[in-house]
Amino acid sequence: MSAAREPRSESANEPGDLSGEQLGRYRLRHKLADGGMASIYLATIAGEAGFERSVAVKVVHPERSGDDSFATMLADEARLIARIHHPNVCSVIDFGRQDERLYMAMEYLHGETLTAMLRRGWAERGVFPAWLAARVIADAARGLHAAHELCDADGTPLDVVHRDVSPQNVVVTYDGAAVVIDFGVVLARGRQTVTAAGLVKGKLSHMAPEQLTGKEIDRRADVWSLGVMLWEATLGRRLFRGTHQGETIERVVHGPITPPSAITSSYPLELERIVMSALTRDVERRTPSARVLAHQLETYLYGLGRPAGHAEVGAWLRECFSDRLLIRDALLHVPDGPRSTPVGGLDDETSSSTLGQGVVQKSSFAPPPLEAPTGITRVETPAAKALREQDALDEVDRTLTAMRAAKRRSRNLTLYFLIAVLLAAAGAGWFLLRAG
């Protein structure tokens, strides 16, 4: 498929889909996700001399744009994140309203959520490397520490607490960096929106006990959440999640916290000490900050004796998500439109529990693979780059064609089944009439 070729389209815009429209400075190109309150679009901002940058734009649904409390909450989130300048926190670029449409423009993260990574690792491969979990959690901890340290213009601490630290809110880019997202329920001094008494915000199974019991919380509540994520990522199972909310809360507040070594004897003792320190219910004895947790994890990684940085994370991600990377890359280059590529293939695999109760393999705790450096930096010529891009576009074309063919076959099978059922019913009716 050449770059100039029009993409195949099976239907027009869905109701409410703004793909192809202009919103402020942003050209909305493809809808990436749709939630109850807002939709996320891959968008482009253009400048002089061919300058172009991809961004993500959260567009609030029209029925919620007039909700003053929701608008205030989104404005709070935008103002807060705009003050955080850290590579492990998703940055906010703009916030505005046009034609009663409220929107927030953010850094576009070309990657996958930790939830999707855990599913691909544990559910599909039966293993998720502990070094990978440690690297991602350490990065997330660095970003959260930057938020926790945030001060106002006078240098007064804002006492920020994310309150919703979970695998869904950590995105790992294909370059290997983990980025914390979604500060919509953050607790901070000076916010105009205030959580009503008795209302709990966040994912119950990742919340700290003091958060669930209505006690005063601080940055150490986010440290607990990171500890839960680390426990689950390295063991491939849920720590506190019950069959219903009440059971989950009871487990978080009073349930036993099983040491990882009791599940698998191959669990590294140093890593276990880090996990269990973050999961101490006594707040005063818990790991004191996200920065300390990051230091501990990086010391553990250093002890593996091999590089475990962004390059290694990116290599794992590109190999594990080669199918989704193909689609994500295509989205950056194909023309505007909701049906030009199968965006549905990027659904974040979060609808059900991604972890089970399988056997933890010893290979989970092996150091990252060591790639021998070549010492050669390859410079790609324009002709080679054009050929590579053409090959990639052709592969996208073949992939989309195969996916559409499979979809048509599925529809045809359903149609054949219905026809067979109708014929069988008609035959049965005719037989009953003859018998009568």
β-strand 178-180 against 92-98: which pairing, if any? unpaired
Question: Is the distance from CB of 18 to CB of 41 less than 8 angstroms?
Answer: yes
Q: Which of 314, 340, 123 is nearest to 233 (CA)?
A: 123
DSSP bridge partners of 308: none
Query: CB–CB of 321/82 below 8 Å?
Result: no
Beta bridge partners of 38: 60
Burial of 433 (0-12, 13-18, 19+ CB in 10 A): exposed
164 catalytic per annotation: yes
Given 164, 218, 391, 394, the catalytic residue: 164
Inter-helix orientation angle 322-331/382-435, to 10°: 110
The residue type at 166 = S
Contact present, 137 and 231 (Cβ < 8 Å): no
H-state helical runs in 202-309: 209-212, 220-235, 245-254, 269-278, 290-302
Paired residues of 179 in beta bridges:
171
Place of tokens 């955080």: 84
22 - beta bridge partners? 27
Using the structure block, give the residue that is written with the tokens 């475990």: 308
Q: Do 189 and 79 contact (CB within 8 A), yes or no?
A: no
Helix H segments across 149-244? 209-212, 220-235
Give the span between the Cα atoms of 436 and 425, in whole angstroms: 16
- Residue 202 CA to residue 217 CA, distance in Å, equals 13
SS3 327: helix
Kindly list the distances between the CA atom of residue 85 and the CA atoms of 92, 93, 380, in Å, as whole numbers in the listed order.
10, 11, 33
Show which residues are catalytic: 164
